[in-house]
Amino acid sequence: MRRLTLGFVAAAMGAAGMVAMSQGPAVAQAAADLPTLIAEGQTLYGRQCAPCHGATGGGGAGPALDGNSFMASISAVLNQIFLGNAERGMPMFTRLTDREVAAIANYIRNSMGNAYPDLVTVEAAAATRPTE
């Protein structure tokens, strides 16, 4: 599964990189960071999310993330991570940095049967972060 996921990421990066280069150097650099963000996200997911969502995203105390169409919406994923869901026992993860949230979002959107290669940028996480 890991080899397949990383293969998908490499293919997605080729396409994302071509689009990103046409949009300017900042976006191209962010797209180049996708494999790094996914790797960071995998580690963070293991510590922060797997206890409830399962190591492979199959669910448990939290809902399954594998093959979950909710992952299609970047804003929905970022809001869910930041705001949690008190009714379902998911805490808010505002203690995580914007990069950590972006990394987790990129990981869960590009693994566990999910294939949404649109880059979740650190800037998007920062713009979504709730203010107090």
Per-residue tens of pLDDT for the chain, all 132 residues: 344 344 444 444 444 444 444 456 656 666 777 899 999 999 999 999 999 999 999 999 999 999 999 999 999 999 999 999 999 999 999 999 999 999 999 999 999 999 998 899 999 999 999 986
Q: Which residue has the tokens 């992952």?
A: 71
* H helical segments located in the chain: 2-23, 25-32, 34-48, 50-53, 74-83, 98-109, 122-128
Q: Whole-angstrom Cα distance, residue 71 to residue 6?
A: 18
* Domain extent at residue 64: 2-128
Q: What's the domain count of the chain?
A: 1
CATH code, 79: 1.10.760.10
The pTM for the full model equals 0.79
Contact at 8 Å (CB) between 27 and 92?
no
Query: Quick one: CA dihedral 102, 103, 105, 110, positive or negative?
Result: positive
Count the residues in the chain: 132
Contact at 8 Å (CB) between 119 and 16?
yes
